Amino acid sequence: MAKRASRTATRPETGSATGSATGSATGTVPAAPFAHFLTYDDVTAYVEKLAAARPDLCHLQSLGTSRDGRDVHLLVLTDFSTGAPEDRPAYLVQANIHASEVAGTHLALYDAHRLLTADRALLQRLTFYIVPRLNPDGAEFAVTTGGAIRSRTDESEIVANALYPEDVNGDGLILSMRQPHPDGAFVRDPDDPRLMVRRRAYSTGPFYRVLPEGLIHAWDGGDHIRIGGRSFDWNRNWSYDWRPEPEQPGAGDFPFSEPEMHALSKFLHRRTNIFGVLGYHTGPAAVLRPPSTGGDADLPESDVRVLEELARFGADSTGFPVVPVVKYHRTWQRDIELRGHFHNFGYHHLGLYVFEFELGTARDAAGLDTSTQFGIFAEEEAESQMRHVLKWWDKSGRKHPLFKPWKRFEHPQLGPVEIGGFLSCGLANQTQARLKKIARGTHAFILEHARRHPRIAIEDVEAQDVGGGIWRVRARVANRGEFPTHVSAKGAGLRRLRPVRVEFHPAGELLSQQGHYELGHLPGVTGGRRLEWFVKRDGKGKALGELHVFGGAGGNAVMEVVAG
């Protein structure tokens, strides 16, 4: 009657392929690296190995170029021999938008490794887009110098009496400087003199000023030294409810003013097949879900239910608590609205259930309960946590790159100082051993979220000879996945999540009034429509036509219909 054609609807891949797409020989997929924090070259070497080991399942592309000219690596994982990535429902994983939060890179690479090995079967029906290091420039600074940076620090405006970070003592690191000063805001902690704690009215000296390691531009020799540069937080640079500074610190000049964010947003808008998104971060351990402004009452109830259900699965698989973003960053007891946040962009502008995992910091590694960290009111409590972290580090053999002992140095401007302190990546991330364990839980979450993808199917295709060379063609077009093709209730009206379109391309003359159908969105599992066409066959050929279904997040399908 009818047979399934081996072809699928294909269109040219966008983005530049930097990996080999041909060749059937496959090699061993190297295990994900969990030995030390990765430099850009380490990440590049690993993703290149993945693409070389499984060219049939993994292509290395570039999402775009960073400000400093590095490729933002994009791994495209799917079974290329049976279909194009854009024709399958797709899941996107992004990591390391914040410079020092490099744990996410390890987990994203672990996800890629698992998908190319144990979970390979998924690539028959799904595509995974993995961006393991969204901020290669910032991460390189954090990994190689240990310096503190949010996403990017712009130092194009150099002003007088401002200090700009620099490796002053030539040890390769950019840490902190401490120096006795009568007006200094810090004292050495009486219990652990490595730790600098806030000076209080009752504190006895010596008092210290603590500054980033660096040089002061056009210094007048006075006491007031500003910290130079403008800090950007790329997780505040997204289009939904974006607000400029000072209303939203770190927001940038306008939505997507940062080229790396622009590249990812463009990618997300163009890939109408993406149905799920996950981001990796490293704040106090938590499973974050929308909203990042307002409250649950602003969202359709059915969406809140799915968000909460999936987040709870993530909590079970990782041991982290579930927290709506608005409840995560708090000042003592007050919720904070995060404007221009990725969560709200993903939910309100893409219509997707977006999650972010906060993978924990050195505090979590040291065994502290960090679930209330943002709500800590007393400075003493925060200081006691850091004391605990240093003790844990000493006991654990100091393998985790957390702290550099203070060392005397003759600063060309300030005179005698001590240089040392915490390394940003060590403080902001858990140990490699713990990350390796956490990766299993976060990966299990991805599989659970991805399992619910919408899925376009062409079923019950019949071609019946009704006489006079005329054939009646019938078929059912359905969504047999769990999510509707608009994914969330929010997504139903958005342009990005494309409604289902069916095109019948007749091999002969189409006698039906309508060849193409706009089916609108289809609900999950039972969302099907039966369609019918009449065709006058061309000569003696067996072909009656071709059925093309464009299902957006549910994927695309093609079937050739032939006279039986």
- Give the binding site for Zn ion (CB under 5 A): 98, 101, 281
Q: Considering beta carbons, is residue 281 or 521 the nearer one to Zn ion?
A: 281
Least separation, in Å, of the C-beta of 479 and Zn ion? 35
Q: Considering beta carbons, is residue 293 or 488 the nearer one to Zn ion?
A: 293
CB 496 within 8 A of CB 523: no
CB 350 within 8 A of CB 239: no
Least separation, in Å, of the C-beta of 101 and Zn ion? 5
Least separation, in Å, of the C-beta of 315 and Zn ion? 19
Q: Considering beta carbons, is residue 98 or 404 the nearer one to Zn ion?
A: 98
Q: Considering beta carbons, is residue 98 or 434 the nearer one to Zn ion?
A: 98
Least separation, in Å, of the C-beta of 15 and Zn ion? 25
**Ordered alpha helix ranges (H), 211-291:** 259-270
Q: Which helix (H) or strand (E) holds 187?
A: strand 186-188
Strands (E), 52-185: 58-65, 71-77, 90-95, 127-131, 152-154, 162-165, 176-180
CA angle 170, 175, 180 (to 5 degrees): 100
Least separation, in Å, of the C-beta of 238 and Zn ion? 13
| Gap between the Cα atoms of 555 and 351, Å rounded | 16
Q: Which helix (H) or strand (E) holds 442?
A: helix 432-451
Least separation, in Å, of the C-beta of 439 and Zn ion? 17
- Rama region for 162: left / alpha / beta (φ>0; ψ in -120 to 50; rest): beta
Q: Considering beta carbons, is residue 236 or 281 the nearer one to Zn ion?
A: 281
Q: Considering beta carbons, is residue 109 or 286 the nearer one to Zn ion?
A: 286
Q: Considering beta carbons, is residue 94 or 385 the nearer one to Zn ion?
A: 94
Q: How far is CA 556 from CA 89, 351, 502, in A?
A: 9, 19, 10
Q: Considering beta carbons, is residue 114 or 236 the nearer one to Zn ion?
A: 236
Kindly state the tokens that stand for 133. 């290091």
Q: Considering beta carbons, is residue 103 or 419 the nearer one to Zn ion?
A: 103
**Ordered alpha helix ranges (H), 284-412:** 301-318, 342-344, 362-365, 379-395
Least separation, in Å, of the C-beta of 66 and Zn ion? 17
Note if the bond before 291 is cis, omega within 30 degrees: yes
CB 474 within 8 A of CB 13: no
Least separation, in Å, of the C-beta of 397 and Zn ion? 28
Q: Considering beta carbons, is residue 101 or 546 the nearer one to Zn ion?
A: 101
CB 143 within 8 A of CB 38: yes
CB 59 within 8 A of CB 47: no
Kindly state the tokens that stand for 160. 């007088």
Least separation, in Å, of the C-beta of 281 and Zn ion? 3
Residue nearest to Zn ion (CB): 281
Kindly state the tokens that stand for 563. 């006279």
CB 75 within 8 A of CB 46: no
Q: Considering beta carbons, is residue 98 or 452 the nearer one to Zn ion?
A: 98
Q: How far is CA 527 from CA 454, 500, 522, in A?
A: 10, 11, 5
Least separation, in Å, of the C-beta of 284 and Zn ion? 11
Q: Considering beta carbons, is residue 71 or 101 the nearer one to Zn ion?
A: 101
Least separation, in Å, of the C-beta of 362 and Zn ion? 15
Q: Considering beta carbons, is residue 164 or 374 the nearer one to Zn ion?
A: 374
Q: Considering beta carbons, is residue 54 or 281 the nearer one to Zn ion?
A: 281
CB 546 within 8 A of CB 560: yes
Least separation, in Å, of the C-beta of 318 and Zn ion? 16
Kindly state the tokens that stand for 177. 């400087």
| 388 phi, psi to nearest 5 deg | -65, -40
Among candidate residues 403, 398, 409, 401, the one with its CA nearest the CA of residue 167: 409
CA angle 383, 386, 388 (to 5 degrees): 115
The three-class DSSP label of residue 481 is coil
The alpha-carbon radius of gyration of the chain (Å, integer) is 28
| Gap between the Cα atoms of 312 and 61, Å rounded | 33
Least separation, in Å, of the C-beta of 535 and Zn ion? 56
Classify strands 127-131 and 90-95 as parallel, antiparallel or unpaired. Answer: parallel
Kindly state the tokens that stand for 118. 């144990």
Kindly state the tokens that stand for 273. 């097949």
Least separation, in Å, of the C-beta of 335 and Zn ion? 18
Burial of 1 (0-12, 13-18, 19+ CB in 10 A): exposed
